[in-house]
A and B are shown apart, each in its own frame.
Chain A
């Protein structure tokens, strides 16, 4: 398994531009998450999804949109990039089921991040 794959690794945007950060996982995990991490800070939850067609806001959803049309993919969309969105973005996933049984608690599997600069 490749695990959680994020693309691109780096991106520079101008103010007002839009872009989509891609995240895909090949572990058949139901849960997927987007976090952002500002320099010297912890991770803040942007959006999460408990399965295809279902998404919910986290702590800092403003300025972002997500969709979950398949189990594998959970793209994060920035419509009008602002300097405040300069950050490292991490995607993560976790399973709902393991071995046919529902998992009550399971750790997150993270991608390697996308470093975004908005100037």
Chain B
């Protein structure tokens, strides 16, 4: 599985878009990129995933570069409840490996 790297922390103003980057330069052709978030010490919550096309759901959008070496998770209108640690992981087969994630703080 590809190793992913993320900035350790970011701030975002409430109501603005939060753009969380992730590098996965060693990703292979059949590895999906997944995003999860963890609020306080709860179990991680699934947000979105994609292979090579951009994806959007009710929570967020996922933009994957054409070479698939990086991606960006976009929370279009961040709220205080979006304050959490966000994990970008790659997955193929049976195993998911988490890094240390990005701690996002949404500021009022």
Residues of chain A at the chain B interface (Cβ within 8 Å) = 4, 31, 33, 35, 41-45, 48, 50, 56, 58-59, 88, 90, 92, 105, 107-113, 115
Contacts and interface: CB of A to CB of B under 8 A. Distances in A.
B95 A58 contact: yes
A45 B94 CA distance: 11
17 contacts: A4-B43, A31-B94, A33-B96, A35-B98, A41-B100, A42-B87, A42-B99, A42-B101, A43-B87, A45-B96, A59-B97, A88-B41, A105-B51, A105-B92, A108-B96, A112-B42, A115-B41
B57 to A, nearest CB: 11
Size category of the binding interface on chain B = 20 to 34
B49 A107 contact: yes
B20 to A, nearest CB: 15
Contacts, number: 52
B53 interface: no
A105 B41 contact: no
Main secondary structure on A side of the interface with B: strand
Nearest to B44: A110
Contact of A42 (B42, B45, B91, B98): B98
A108 B96 CA distance: 9
The 7 A-B residue pairs with the shortest CB-CB distance in the complex, in nearest-first order? A110-B43, A107-B46, A43-B98, A42-B98, A42-B100, A105-B32, A42-B99
B49 A105 contact: yes
Greatest chain A CB density within 10 A among B32, B41, B99 is at B41
B94 A50 contact: yes
Given A105-B32, A107-B49, 13 more contacts: A31-B94, A33-B96, A42-B99, A43-B87, A48-B94, A50-B94, A88-B41, A92-B43, A105-B92, A107-B46, A108-B46, A113-B42, A115-B41
